[in-house]
Amino acid sequence: MTRNHFEAPGFARNTAHSAAPLVLKLGGRSLDAPAAFASFVLEVAAFARTHPLVLVHGGGAQVSAWSERLGLVPRFEGGLRVTDAETLEVVTAVLAGLSNKRLVAALRDAGSDAVGLSLLDGGLVPVARHADSATLGAVGTPIGVHTAWLSELLGGHRLPVIATLGAQHGELLNVNADDAAAAIAAALGADLVLLSDIAGLTIEGELRSSLDANQARALADHPQVSGGMRPKLLAAAHAVATGARSARIARWEDAGTLAALLGSQAPGTCIACAVPPLAHTAGLAR
């Protein structure tokens, strides 16, 4: 496949690159299967060539797998990884190294001008130690975003692929990918999509398709909300409260998922989607 001959079905060309930005956070195990990863890469690469897109990724499953290979036991508190000195080395190697470069290589091969970065590169996203660092260890939270640099990259039709490793006073810090994506979406006034292993927020067997920010915050403490869903709800609520147009929690299903996520009948749980569909649907083929 040559980079000049691939066009993904479902997207119309928007050479002006004038649509509102989209911040897409990749996480979970939904792309572990090679076919799912391949479809994701092709759709994201095609979309990024015609629309402003920032891809933020974690790598929790890979970090846990490598930790276990090294005899380390993964630990979590409130959905956040406890990051001691040994775990931080694994996080750094996997997130900013293996995971980031595999994504960048695949996306460039699919025709996008992907640029691999971490939160600390160029001061892209300044971070501070988490308020509960006594329990969590070397974990950080975003405290700003260098929007001028991101806008320059997006204006040049590049695809920033951002690993969520930050630093404060020279100390490396592991940053939750949902929090990082939320901060970037808020700073850019973008739409936010948090990809997960599950289809959205389900309470008492019912998928909650639409919430406002206050409802999302309240449900984060619901007894049926566990694992990584709590930080996702809090990140989504914070994003829309501080500048993001909307936030959606959803799962990558198969080819065509990105177009579906940006449509008027998008799957998953959306926070503050008062005016569906998202702005990007102006560039979707009808």
Do the annotations mark residue 14 as ligand-binding? no
- What is the bridge-based pairing of β-strands 53-57 and 76-77? unpaired
Residue type, 183: A
Q: In a 10 Å sphere around its CB, with 0-12 CB exposed, 13-18 middle and 19+ buried, how is residue 35 labelled? A: exposed
- List 10, 58, 60, 268, catalytic entry: 60
CA distances from 83 to 41, 50, 80, 179, 189 (A): 29, 38, 9, 16, 31
How far from chain centre, in Å, is Cα 61? 15
Please name the amino acid found at residue 86.
E
Residue 284 DSSP symbol: B
Indicate which residue of 10, 25, 137, 283 is catalytic. Answer: 25
Q: Note if 268 is an active site residue.
A: no
The residues pairing with 127 across neighbouring beta strands, listed in sequence order, are: 142
60 is in an annotated binding site: yes
174 assigned to a ligand binding site? yes
Residue 13 assigned to a binding site: no
Catalytic status, residue 178: yes
* Catalytic one of 79, 111, 116, 232: 232
Catalytic residue among 121, 178, 179, 191: 178
Identify each DSSP E strand in 157-281 by its residue range.
Answer: 159-163, 165-168, 171-175, 191-196, 202-203, 206-207, 210-211, 246-251, 269-271
**Is residue 166 among the annotated active site residues?**
no
Q: Taking the CB of residue 37, how many other CB atoms lie within 10 A of it?
A: 17
Does residue 191 carry a catalytic annotation? no
In angstroms, rounded to a whole number, what is the distance separating the alpha carbons of residues 158 and 262? 20
- Binding positions for substrate: 59-60, 81, 174
Active-site residue numbers? 25, 28, 60, 178, 232
- Binding positions: 59-60, 81, 174
